[in-house]
Chain A
């Protein structure tokens, strides 16, 4: 636990030094969403109808954007090689990385969601559902992005490769998250979709850290 706390602290120190790593995705998210009312026209009915898909597509792409450099520096400077050789710290390192990635990309999206609700003309109820889907869905986005980053960290230009590996895995999430929001907008029950999102989260939480650890070992060996 002491070790884990120190590792999280290190990640936060790095985020503090490299602010672009978490500010860029957030700014990208806000930019994309603020352009839609301008491009499509400010008609509230229309925006409200497409809002669920829009918010989630923007969230997917912004998280993807943030993940490319996740392991690059640690790989280049030999940190990961030495972690793999030492073994016992590797799993804590992976979980700290995932945690801090979510804190730096998922949580800001939740925090700016009231602003998004205003931009897209969402009502109180829709905003609440948006927050719940973001809270359940963004950790899954972070988990999958970290996996993609771990698989492609040794590749020179891994960005596109990572998108190709990870985007198909994002799609079920996109469908169920925007499905929940659409159902809520038309006053239908949406707990089913939320339960599926929760199931995704628990499943990913159980398996992805182990897969990431293995991917790091594979890339070093």
Chain B
């Protein structure tokens, strides 16, 4: 199976502190990269590197066997990145936020009410998101995963403030995405409970 995303001897330095060095992995379609580590160990920094937002101190990231830096446009077309912040504007309603992200990804949502309803947000579609709880805001943010057609998902702490039931729903959705040949990179402090066909785990150590 061909390798889609790979890291070679990747290093990251933030504020004169080496977060990680000589990190290697190879991911092909249908695989999950599960990044663990203490607070401040560099999980989010690694995701930002992989999303092409920052450049590595050393080493390189390969997308379909070629360096990412030369084909960032092509990579961005395949990428869905949800960072540490949800990307939800609290003054807008769930529907308006959804419309914004669906317009940007040029994916029409067939029935936004039904989608939000299936995420337990029935009846809350029309109120500004700042009135929703943290978990409900996270659900609005993650609703993108249900209409996205991008194969590469990079998700920073997707389970934060979600309840057990929605975590299970989300993990089922992850499995469907992987079965369709997708690829997921995610960080979490929780252990994954679903049975993933091909899981790679990286534990980042907190270093001084």
Chain A residues within CB distance 8 Å of chain B: 2-3, 5-7, 9-10, 13-14, 17-18, 73-74, 76-79, 81-89, 93, 220-221
- Cα-based distance from A210 to B77 in the complex (angstroms): 20
Given known pairs A10-B96, A13-B92, A13-B96, the reply for A83 and B104 (CB within 8 Å) is yes
Query: In angstroms, how far is the closest chain B Cβ from the Cβ of A56?
Result: 32
Query: In angstroms, how far is the closest chain B Cβ from the Cβ of A78?
Result: 3
A77 touches B88 (CB 8 A): yes
A221 touches B53 (CB 8 A): yes
The interface on chain B, measured as residues whose beta carbon lies within 8 A of the other chain's beta carbons, has a size of 33
B85 touches A14 (CB 8 A): no
Chain B residue nearest to A10 (CB atoms) is B100
B72 touches A87 (CB 8 A): yes
B79 touches A85 (CB 8 A): yes
Chain B residue nearest to A4 (CB atoms) is B103
Given known pairs A10-B92, A82-B83, A89-B104, the reply for A17 and B53 (CB within 8 Å) is no
B76 touches A6 (CB 8 A): no
From A77, A83, A88, contact of B89 by CB (8 A):
A77
From B51, B88, B92, B103, contact of A2 by CB (8 A):
B103
Q: List 17 A-B contacts (CB under 8 A).
A: A2-B103, A6-B102, A13-B96, A14-B92, A17-B128, A76-B85, A77-B87, A77-B88, A78-B83, A81-B85, A85-B52, A85-B81, A86-B76, A86-B79, A87-B73, A87-B77, A88-B73
Q: Say yes or no: is B188 at the interface (Cβ < 8 Å to chain A).
A: no
Given known pairs A85-B51, A86-B104, the reply for A77 and B85 (CB within 8 Å) is yes
- Cα-based distance from A13 to B126 in the complex (angstroms): 13
Chain B residue nearest to A80 (CB atoms) is B87
Q: Which residues of B contact A9 (CB under 8 A)?
A: 99
Contacts across chains A and B counted by CB atoms under 8 Å: 87
Q: Which residues of B contact A84 (CB under 8 A)?
A: 53
Q: Which residues of B contact A86 (CB under 8 A)?
A: 76, 79-81, 104-105
* Interchain residue pairs A-B with the least CB separation, the first 10: A78-B85, A6-B103, A87-B76, A85-B81, A89-B104, A17-B91, A85-B51, A82-B87, A78-B87, A10-B100
Query: In angstroms, how far is the closest chain A Cβ from the Cβ of B103?
Result: 3
Query: In angstroms, how far is the closest chain B Cβ from the Cβ of A216?
Result: 11
- Cα-based distance from A221 to B96 in the complex (angstroms): 27
Chain B residue nearest to A92 (CB atoms) is B104
Q: Say yes or no: is B90 at the interface (Cβ < 8 Å to chain A).
A: yes
Query: In angstroms, how far is the closest chain B Cβ from the Cβ of A14?
Result: 6
Q: Which residues of A contact B38 (CB under 8 A)?
A: none
- Cα-based distance from A17 to B55 in the complex (angstroms): 37
